[in-house]
Structure 1
Amino acid sequence: MTENAVNKINTRSLILVLIIISAGILRVLNVGKFGDWANFTPVGAIALFAGTHFKNRWAAYLTPLLTLFLSDIIVNYGYYGKTTLFYEGIVWVYAAFALMVLIGSFIKRVSAINVLLAAIGSVVIHWLITNFGVWLGGMLYPQTLAGLADCYIKAIPFEKNLLLGNLAYGALLYGGFEWAKRSFPSLSTKVNWAK
């Protein structure tokens, strides 16, 4: 591998990290406003985007999960007025987002339909995993099948917002990066290793 090829890969990775951090900042802009648009955030789209575009698997998982962790600290402080590093159910939430990264890694060709299907699939996974964790915690719902069903049903508005966030921010992230790759070919992963 030539020095030029290494610089090209490092530049691309740096740009991807900066894009993800920028999108993560958008999550904290409405801190303290937990209303009808709760869960309309870029974090699902960030996880999918990282899974698709990072060739290094460690970076693909670490970058969005670290962005989620840091923004969680700010968001939790905004809602509760105290610094919270870990919260009840964090394992379920982060497992769901790690699986979103995995779903993003299956996108081999970026297209509207592929991103749409990934956005829907990631929301279904988030809905199943995180709400199972809420139910299993036993604090809000009885640990019965009826309680589990109630937990899943009451989560639908939040998951709808997550889907809308995945679609809106996914369009920005994927569309913006595809445009950037056309404008700046060095961002493409197609490296001529023979040079």
Structure 2
Amino acid sequence: MNQQTTGGATREAVKEYLQQYHMARERRRMLERRHDVLARELRAPAPGSTYMTMPASHPAADSEGAVSVVFRLAEVEDRIEAQRTAMGRAVTMVMDLIDLLPENSMERTVVELRHIDCKKWERICKEVHMSRSRVNDYYNAALDTILSNKRAQKLVQDFEQDRGHGTGGEKSGPI
């Protein structure tokens, strides 16, 4: 695999930068699923009480009550709202890099489908009517174009430092 490096930034670092919107979107989806579970728990009828002839020797440890669920639900709603804000920032940052690619180019189309529309590679291939290897060629050409821009290099390096990855960040995809 060609791992182009230009001034410290690598293709992997650019991919991580471009993935930030997708990751923020996935975190929001996770929080929304958690919210749905808590909302169902709140709507669920309380279990019926059983009649006991003898008093219990210890209080029930698992009875949190509806108030606890309401507080957790409110906390998750706050986190969802914060995640929506983070998604807005992330998509703006990603679009700034994508704007470096020529308008109406196949490179830009592939990157937008992958990192803005969050499509899987198979779906991208179908939409642009190309083989996976040809789509990879366009994607890698787009990464190289982005890497050739000094401002983009700086943005990616700052992003990597903020995330604490340095120059050897985690791999984010199959390319």
- In our comparison, the structure showing a higher alpha carbon Rg is 2
Q: TM-score range by the shorter chain?
A: 0.3 to 0.5
What TM-score, normalized by structure 2, do the two folds share? 0.34
